[in-house]
Structure 1
């Protein structure tokens, strides 16, 4: 595990409740595996919090930028220990850590995200799509309202190109403008999205979503050894 000091290159508005911190690693060698996380805080501060890396390793190597998805509060402020983060702000970054990562073989994959749980799954998704002959990947993504779908344009483009099969569902939206799925992730949705019962399934999100979804996958015949979870 390594501790480095890096500047924030850019803060991007991802959704009304999240921001993407683009960390400048152009002058820093930092190796990680898709799905891993970091401990991040302002330079010199003892306060650090874990965040999953949203970028794939090849993206960081190519651009020198590492993306981290950060939730904001109702006032629009970042987490208290990062509230001063802006372009040029220097952060202490420790890591990588975690075993929530891609398998090396080429079995089908199903990613299941709730809210900001999309971050490590995006990292793994982009890493898998780089591999030659990678099978189609399934993604189930649950949020409260459509505006909270982070990386939406990118995911839509991958779906249109036939690279992924994406299933979005919203749990609190009552407007007529959303014509997609509504409600929590249920057995029927997972049955539609599951490429096969021997697929590796990665679930990341709030504890209740993770517990409920893992149980539903088992009822569909997915062995527990092929269900990897990460909750926050």
Structure 2
């Protein structure tokens, strides 16, 4: 791709109080990328850009003819001056895929554990779906941490996959969960991870704020995971 793509917004949905799922129509065009990669998004004709991980797998993008993103918004629903408004039909300039936080080519035969904090779930979702689509029989683990139970993006999707036995899911919140939350609370601890790191050939992929990634990495090593089997991406 020699030049950025300019794609229209096809669909916008409220995912959590602070995020929106935005789909950009490919219109039959090919947009090759690796699961986990990001692109710069911005309004055509102005310089402001911000990187976002593609939240769908390459196979989903090809089959459904769209790119999907999880975009954090401010109070009032604006993502910021780089996009300004998220309205159906609005044109968005999409840069080249970038980044090395992707599923390794030598992953077949390995057990996978994905660990996400906040909007770090976007590249994790892309890689998780890619693993499910390309390695029949794989059953990845997913540990997902959010500030509150209403801030789990793609929650219904992940819970449906867990109920179907396709993934092992553990959700935790770092703040008070209110009366509607009965799951794990507080900072990630050994107890959250022990049952997910039993395999000797485990490959762990971690994405979230720096403090989350550092804490998770230290716990994984403490539990016996080799450092070269922990791949990390941070933001913020």
TM-score by length of 2: 0.94
Q: What CA distance in whole angstroms lies between the structure 2 residues aligned with 1:121 and 1:82?
A: 23
Name the stretch that deviates more: 167-176 or 7-16: 167-176
1:181 aligns to what? 184
Q: What CA distance in whole angstroms lies between the structure 1 residues aligned with 2:143 and 2:51?
A: 23
Alignment check: 8 A CA contact 1:71 1:79 kept = no
1:71 aligns to what? 72
1:57 aligns to what? 58
Match of 2:113 among 102, 110, 115: 110
Residue 22 (structure 1) aligned with residue 23 (structure 2): yes
Alignment check: 8 A CA contact 2:41 2:51 kept = yes
Deviation string for 1:83-120 (max 9, x for gaps)?
22311111111110111111233200000000100000
Aligned alpha-carbon RMSD (Å) = 1.3
Structure 1: runs of 5 or more not aligned: none
1:99 aligns to what? 100
Residue 208 (structure 1) aligned with residue 211 (structure 2): yes
Name the stretch that deviates more: 10-19 or 70-79: 70-79
Structure 2: runs of 5 or more not aligned: none
1:121 aligns to what? 124
Alignment check: 8 A CA contact 1:143 1:169 kept = yes
1:195–1:82 CA distance, 2 compared to 1 (3 A): farther
Match of 2:166 among 147, 158, 163: 163
Deviation at 1:82, TM superposition (A): 1.4
Match of 1:138 among 137, 141, 146: 141
1:15–1:188 CA distance, 2 compared to 1 (3 A): same
Q: What CA distance in whole angstroms lies between the structure 2 residues aligned with 1:152 and 1:62?
A: 23
1:45–1:156 CA distance, 2 compared to 1 (3 A): same
Q: What CA distance in whole angstroms lies between the structure 1 residues aligned with 2:179 and 2:86?
A: 37
Deviation string for 1:184-232 (max 9, x for gaps)?
2112211122242421101101110011111111111111111111111
TM-score by length of 1: 0.96
Residue 221 (structure 1) aligned with residue 224 (structure 2): yes
SS of the residue corresponding to residue 225 of structure 2 reads coil
Q: What CA distance in whole angstroms lies between the structure 2 residues aligned with 1:111 and 1:208?
A: 17
